[in-house]
Structure 1
Amino acid sequence: MSLFISQAHAAAEGPADSGMSFLFMMVVFAAIFYFMIYRPQAKRNKEHKNLMESIAKGDEVLTQGGLIGRVVKVNAENDYLQIELNENNVIAIKKSFVTAVLPKGTLKSI
């Protein structure tokens, strides 16, 4: 019987550094989160912001809806663009809906 009691007593002591291993594991998870999720998303946001600031009259753009057109007017006050889809159609969209600025001559090649 004393054999079982001593085993239970020995098992109750447990490892002494469990707090440090938990802290180390949390630091590793935070590093993985930063390098795999936060940092790439921040980089994409910065590139998109630079794209929005560089849009000028005459640029050919692609919108999130799949429309391709030429920028006719840039309204800097409220971040809207007027895009000419063809000679008869001009639409107004928010700058943030522009996905890409296309190379010159893209509209003629389509």
Structure 2
Amino acid sequence: MGDLGNFLPLIAVLAVMYFLMIAPQMKRAKQEKKFASELKRGDRVITKSGMHGKVVDLNEKDNSCVIETLAGKIKFDRSAISMEMSKKLNAPATTK
């Protein structure tokens, strides 16, 4: 029983690390993957680098999309689309 008592703090630290660090990252990765798979033509998006545009074409073969901006059309990987910023852009405006 003494050996288990020595490992109990280590087990507790690992459990806390899992619930505070690893589990939220896995949940976020799953949400981002779902967001990228649900993109459709006409969606207004913002890339992680800050480009604003509208999705005009989706390519399932190489998991990319073409975004139309004021400067023209640019091809991006779907993982380059920012989930948080795109959701904020498409959220209905609240007025007071």
- Same-fold status (TM-score > 0.5): yes
Calculate the TM-score normalised by the size of structure 2: 0.83
Identity between Structure 1 and Structure 2 (%) = 26
Amino acid in the other structure paired with 2:72? N
Following superposition, the deviation at residue 27 of structure 1 comes to 1.4
Q: Which moved more, 1:27-36 or 1:69-78?
A: 27-36
2:34 to 34, 46, 50: 50
What is the Cα-based RMSD across aligned positions, in Å? 1.9
Segments of structure 1 that go 5 or more residues without pairing to the other structure are: 1-15, 106-110
Distance 1:40 1:28, change over 3 A: same
The residue aligned with 1:92 is 75
Aligned residues: 88
The residue aligned with 1:64 is 48
Q: How does 1:1-110 map to 2 (within 5 A)?
A: 17=2, 19-86=3-70, 89-100=72-83, 101=86, 102-103=89-90
Segments of structure 2 that go 5 or more residues without pairing to the other structure are: none
Residue 61 of structure 1 contacts residue 68 of structure 1 at CA under 8 Å; is this kept in 2? Answer: yes
Following superposition, the deviation at residue 33 of structure 1 comes to 1.2
Calculate the TM-score normalised by the size of structure 1: 0.73
